[in-house]
Amino acid sequence: MTETTAKQQRKALFAERLRTARKAKRWSQPDMVAHLATGLTRSAAAKWELPHETAEPDYATLVRLAEILDTTVAYLLGLTDRLAPERPIANVYPVEAMRQVPVLGAIAAGQPILAVEEAEETLMLPADLLPGRDVFALRVCGDSMIEEQIYDGALALIEQTPTVPDQTIAAVLVDDEATLKTVRYLDDHVVLLPANPAYRAMIYRPDEVRILGKLRLVVQQRG
């Protein structure tokens, strides 16, 4: 599966889930926009339900959508098939349903930058959004992954693993500096691909890089 195809499939799934949740409420798209109450235009919201469009809501808007549609972020992202939340209020979680995720520092969506492997803060997230137990977050710096909707200032949630499949977005350590890129294995080299035509691919020998983990979720930060 190519990087473009994977991204298209993720967007198509989100579009289908959003449409299903909206129709379950018996709402039109204008009804959903009115309840969302963020100043979003109807045309912008309509693009969310079109699988060929790249437009997607940021994380804060995604949480708000789940709340007004009486579902969960996990359902909208395709992480569960359960439309109705298990809790009376979709995105208000009891303490035992939350997990602390350490934010270990910064990661470049651009050229590699130093990764500080000490928790500078912690992030509380619903446990059912997170894979396994070995999860950490790194703050994104730069714009090399913008075509994957990964923006400067976002928090990248990484599932710690020493290897990832070909064409996976991952956190990679290069000479003690971390970067977030799509990993490709070509011949005897590891290629780190950006998602911004302004940046070039970076090519390394396998012994020059260390996989930190696989990208599982992006939490966009709103200014």
Q: Are residues 105 and 15 in the same domain?
A: no
- Whether 214 is a known active-site residue: answer no
Helix runs in the chain, H state only = 3-24, 29-36, 42-48, 59-68, 73-76
- pLDDT in the model for residue 66: 87
Give me the domain span that covers residue 63. 3-76
Catalytic residue among 11, 25, 43, 181: 181
Q: Are residues 139 and 108 in the same domain?
A: yes
Does this model's pTM top 0.85? My answer is no
- Look up residue 87 and give its two tokens: 């809790």
Q: List the one residue out of 167, 147, 187 whose CA is nearest residue 2.
A: 167
Asked if the structure places residue 89 within a domain, the reply is no
- pLDDT in the model for residue 86: 54
Q: Are residues 173 and 215 in the same domain?
A: yes
Asked if the structure places residue 147 within a domain, the reply is yes
What total number of domains does the chain contain? 2
Q: Is the pLDDT of residue 18 over 80?
A: yes
- Rounded to whole angstroms, how far apart are CA atoms 135 and 186? 28
Which whole number is the average pLDDT over 46-64? 85
Last residue of a domain, one of 11, 45, 76: 76
Asked if the structure places residue 13 within a domain, the reply is yes
Which whole number is the average pLDDT over 62-73? 86
What is the pLDDT confidence band of residue 189, given thresholds at 50, 70 and 90? Answer: very high
Catalytic residue among 25, 43, 47, 144: 144
- Rounded to whole angstroms, how far apart are CA atoms 184 and 193? 7
Query: How many whole angstroms from its chain centre is CA 198?
Result: 22
Q: What is the pLDDT of residues 33-43, one digit of tens each?
A: 999 888 888 88
Q: Are residues 48 and 139 in the same domain?
A: no
Q: What is the pLDDT of residues 103-116, one digit of tens each?
A: 776 666 655 444 54
- pLDDT in the model for residue 92: 45
Please report the DSSP string for 48-100 in residue order. HT-TT------HHHHHHHHHHTTS-HHHHTTS-S--S-SSSSTT---GGGEEE
- Whether 144 is a known active-site residue: answer yes
CATH code: domain of residue 213: 2.10.109.10
Q: Are residues 24 and 57 in the same domain?
A: yes
Last residue of a domain, one of 16, 42, 76: 76
- pLDDT in the model for residue 96: 43
Which whole number is the average pLDDT over 3-11? 67
- pLDDT in the model for residue 119: 57
Q: What is the pLDDT of residues 132-174, one digit of tens each?
A: 668 888 888 888 888 888 888 888 888 888 999 999 999 998 8
What is the pLDDT confidence band of residue 97, given thresholds at 50, 70 and 90? Answer: low
